[in-house]
Homo-oligomer: A and B are copies of this chain.
Amino acid sequence: MAAGEQITEDQLAQISGVSRTPVREAVRRLEDELLLVRSDTKRLFVADWSRDDIEEMFVLRQMLEGHAAERAASRLSREQIAALEAVNRDLTAAVEQASPDVARFLEANRAFHDVIIDAAQSPRLAQLLARLVEAPVVLRTARTYTREDLLQSARDHDELIAAFTARDPDWARAVMGSHLRRAFHTFARAVGPTKERDAAA
């Protein structure tokens, strides 16, 4: 639905075919994720994310996920590193095809990052990142990826695995940082110059 549009709990309830009670809980989550915002007096609107909003999200994610990579470097088990390798093989296969399978890429990508966050062994960090990495935003970002962007992601993951294998926290953090920062610039390039607000629906 359109950014900035007002929406009522009742409408969402009818759309989803459930009563307002569970809708209210879902709305609370979407408010936490800043996908819905409440007007001055409790009325509900769909959020309008500017380019700057998305950059800020990437900056925070870089900070937190970099920290996760740093912690994971000294905590990942051999099995977890093997899992990362397996997942990234799948991700690479999804991308190396003539026409990349973006859905499969996204699923593998999420799995990859989940292993790292899990290995960081910090429930609070995991929780903050869950709030930050919103599916709709990631999805829109991924749509703007070219095949070369996707391949570069796969290579970043390979280097992350190398950093983990070497048990080098600084290396891991640095790779994660450039990985995410590049993702932001890929997105920014697609969205266009800084001044314009993002009007995607």
* Chain A residues within 8 Å of B, Cβ to Cβ: 21, 24-25, 28, 32, 34, 53, 56-57, 59-60, 63-64, 67, 122-125, 127-128, 131-132
Q: Compute how far the CA of A124 lies from the CA of B59 in the bound complex, rounded to whole angstroms.
A: 10
- Known interface pairs A56-B122, A67-B63. Does A127 touch B34 (Cβ–Cβ under 8 Å)? yes
- Known interface pairs A24-B25, A63-B63, A63-B64. Does A128 touch B128 (Cβ–Cβ under 8 Å)? yes
Q: Compute how far the CA of A24 lies from the CA of B25 in the bound complex, rounded to whole angstroms.
A: 9
List 13 A-B residue pairs with CB atoms under 8 Å apart, sorted by A's residue number: A21-B21, A24-B25, A25-B28, A32-B32, A34-B123, A34-B127, A53-B124, A56-B122, A56-B123, A60-B67, A60-B124, A128-B128, A131-B131
10 more A-B contacts (CB under 8 A) besides A56-B125, A60-B64?
A: A25-B28, A28-B28, A53-B123, A56-B123, A59-B67, A60-B67, A63-B67, A128-B128, A128-B131, A128-B132
- Say how far A75's CB is from chain B's closest CB, in angstroms: 13
Of the residues B24, B25, B56, B123, contact of A124 by C-beta under 8 Å: B56
Q: Compute how far the CA of A163 lies from the CA of B11 in the bound complex, rounded to whole angstroms.
A: 50
State the oligomeric state as a number of copies. 2
- Say how far A35's CB is from chain B's closest CB, in angstroms: 12
Q: Which residues of B contact A125 (CB under 8 A)?
A: 56, 60
Closest B residue by C-beta to A66: B63
Closest B residue by C-beta to A61: B124
- Say how far A113's CB is from chain B's closest CB, in angstroms: 18
Q: Which residues of B contact A122 (CB under 8 A)?
A: 56, 60
Q: Which residues of B contact A127 (CB under 8 A)?
A: 32, 34, 131
Q: Which residues of B contact A28 (CB under 8 A)?
A: 25, 28
Q: Which residues of B contact A32 (CB under 8 A)?
A: 32, 127
